[in-house]
Structure 1
Amino acid sequence: MAAGNGITGILFDKDGTLLDYAKSWVPVNYELARIAARGDERLARVLLQAGGMDPDTGHVAPDSLLAAGNTVEIATGMVEAGAPFTVEELTTLFDGLFAQSADYAVPVTDLGAFFAALHAKGYRLGVASSDNERSIRETAKRFGFENYLHYVAGYDSGYGVKPQPGMVLGFCAATGLAPAQVAVVGDNNHDMHMGRNAGVGMTIAVLTGTGSRQSLAEASDHCLADITELEAVL
C-alpha cells in the first residue's frame, strides 16, 4: 500500500531510533572509552569528551562523534585524542564490542510487533545504520524483526556512509522504489541529511536518541517523540 503522501518504503536508523540511545549505548560508550584508553581512567574521560559525551552525566551531544559517527570515524577521533592504538586496531575492537552490544540493547517498543504491523500494510522496510552490518542483523534477530526487512546497510556494507545518499539509494535499488516514495526515520541530522541528499519523500526525526527538537527542526519534515507515532504522519 501507499500512504496518502505516496510513501511506500521506510528506512530506519538503528541506534536512538529503534533502540533507546541512553539506555542502550551510554554503557557501551563507557566500555568503548575504557578499551580505547587501555584502562587508563583519566584518558578514558578525555576520550569520552572528545566523542561528545560528558563522562559524569552520560549526556551525548547531538550530532557528535558518539552520536552520529561510524566505527571508523569514532576510532579515528579516539586515536587523534590520544588512544594508544592504530585506527585499524581500534576499529576492529569497536566493531566486536558493537556486535556484542545487541545483547544489551533496549528497544523503544516491541520491535517484532511494530515491524510486523508495517509489513502487513505493505511497506518495504530497511535499516541503515552507522554501526556495522553484523550488529544490525544481530539486533534484528534478537528483537524478532529480521524477517520483515527488505534491506540492511551498515557503514561497512559498501553503500557509503551517512550523510551521503548511498544507503538510501541502495534501499531503492533493493526494493524498486523511487526516493520520493521513501521515508527516512532517524534521531540525528546525519540521518536527515542522508535522506535530503537522496531526495526522499519525507524525513522523520525521533527524540529517543541524541537529537532535540531544536537540533533536528531544520532538516526534518516531522519530529516525533518516538517511532510509535510514525503511522500518524504516514
Structure 2
Amino acid sequence: MTTEKGIAGILFDKDGTLLDYAKSWVPVNYEVASIAADGDAELARRLLVAGGMDPDTGYVTPDSLLAAGNTVEIATGMVAAGAPYTVEGLTVKLDGLFSNSAAYAVPVTDLAIFFAGLHAKGYRLGVASSDNERSIRETAKRFGFDGYLHYVAGYDSGFGTKPQPGMVLGFCAATGLEPHQVAVVGDNNHDLHMGRNAGVGLTVAVLTGTGSPQSLAAASDHCLNDITELETVLV
C-alpha cells in the first residue's frame, strides 16, 4: 500500500513509542544505576543524574543519555561519571538487563492488533531501537507482533546507531522501498534526526516517551499523543 503521501513503510522506535517509557523504563533505569554503581546507593543517585534522570521523581530529561542512548553510550557515560567498571564490562551487564526487561514492559496499546491492522493495509513494518536486537525480538514475541515485522535493528545489528541513517537504509534494503516512502515514528530527536538524515518521507513524534511537543517540534512533521493516532497522518 502507498498513501497519498507515498508512505509504504513504517519504521518504529521501541521504547517510548511502542512501549510506555515511564511505566516500562523508569524502574529499569533505577536498576541500571544500581548495577553500574555496584550497589553503592549514593553513587547510584549520582549516576542517575548523570544519565538525565531525577532520582527522586523519576523524570527523565528529553534526549538525555537514559532517554536516547544505546547501551554502549549509557555505559560510557556511567563509567565517566564514576561507575567502577570498564565500558566493555558494564555494556555486557546492561545488555543482559535490557534483554530481560521485555518481561516487565508496558505497551502503549494492544500491539498485536495495532500491527495486524497496519499489516493488513499493506504497510512494510519495522522496529529500529537503541536497545539491543535480542531485546527488540523478545518484546515483539511477548506482545504478539513479531510475525508482522519485515525488519528489526538494534544498536548491535550492524546498521550503525541513531541518529545516523543506517537503520533506515537497512529497512529500505530489506523491504525494497526508497527512503521517501518511509515514515519514522519515535519519541525523541535521535529517532527523528535519523529519519531526516536518511531522507524519509515523514517523521512522526509521539508523546509516550520523554519528549515534549516543544522538544520534538523542529524535527517532526507531526506530533501525536501516541501511535494509535498514526493513521490520521498517513491518509
Give, as a single letter, the amino acid of the residue that structure 1 aligns with 2:203: T
Say whether 1:198 aligns with 2:198. yes
Q: For residues 169-225 of structure 1, what are the alpha-carbon distances to aligned partners after superposition, in whole Å with 9 as ceiling and x for unaligned? A: 000000000000000000000000000000000000000000000000000000000
- Using the alignment, how far apart are the partners of 2:180 and 2:31 within structure 1? 40
Counterparts of 1:33 and 1:56, CA distance in 2 = 13
Residue 131 of structure 1 corresponds to: 131
Instruction: Determine the C-alpha separation between the residues in 1 that align with 2:66 and 2:191.
Output: 14
SS at match of 1:203: strand
| SS, match of residue 63 in structure 1 | coil
The answer for the alignment partner of 2:175 in structure 1 is 175
Distance 2:208 2:93 in 1: 26
Residues 1:110 and 2:113 are matched in the alignment: no
The residue identity in structure 1 corresponding to 2:229 is E
Amino acid at match of 2:152: V
Hey, what does 1:121 align to over in structure 2?
Answer: 121
Alpha-carbon offset, residue 10 of structure 1 = 0.1
2:163 corresponds to 1:153: no
Length, aligned pairs only: 234
Q: How far does residue 3 in structure 1 lie from its aligned partner after superposition?
A: 1.2
Superposition deviation, residue 41 in structure 1: 0.5
Q: Report the TM-score when normalising by structure 2.
A: 0.99
Displacement of 1:4 after TM fit?
Answer: 1.3
Aligned amino acid, residue 207 of structure 1: L
| Structure-2 residue corresponding to 1:64 | 64
Amino acid at match of 1:19: L
Secondary structure of the corresponding residue to residue 141 of structure 2: helix
In structure 2, how many angstroms separate the alpha carbons of the residues matched to 1:2 and 1:143? 26
Q: Percent identity?
A: 83
**Residues 77-88 of structure 1 correspond to what in structure 2 (within 5 A)?**
77-88=77-88
Q: RMSD of the alignment, in Å?
A: 0.3
Indicate the residue corresponding to 1:142 in structure 2. Answer: 142
> Partners in 2 of 1:40 and 1:51 — Cα distance?
16
- Residue type of the partner of 1:16? G
How many Å separate the matches in 2 of 1:97 and 1:155? 15
Which residue number corresponds to residue 166 of structure 1? 166
1:223 is aligned to: 223
- Is 1:212 paired with 2:217? no
Question: Where does structure 1 lack aligned partners over 5 or more consecutive residues?
Answer: none
The structural deviation recorded for 1:159 is 0.1
Letter in 2 for 1:137: R
Match of 1:37 in 2: 37
**Whole-Å Cα distance in 1 between the matches of residues 35 and 63 of structure 2?**
23
Q: Is 1:91 matched with 2:88?
A: no
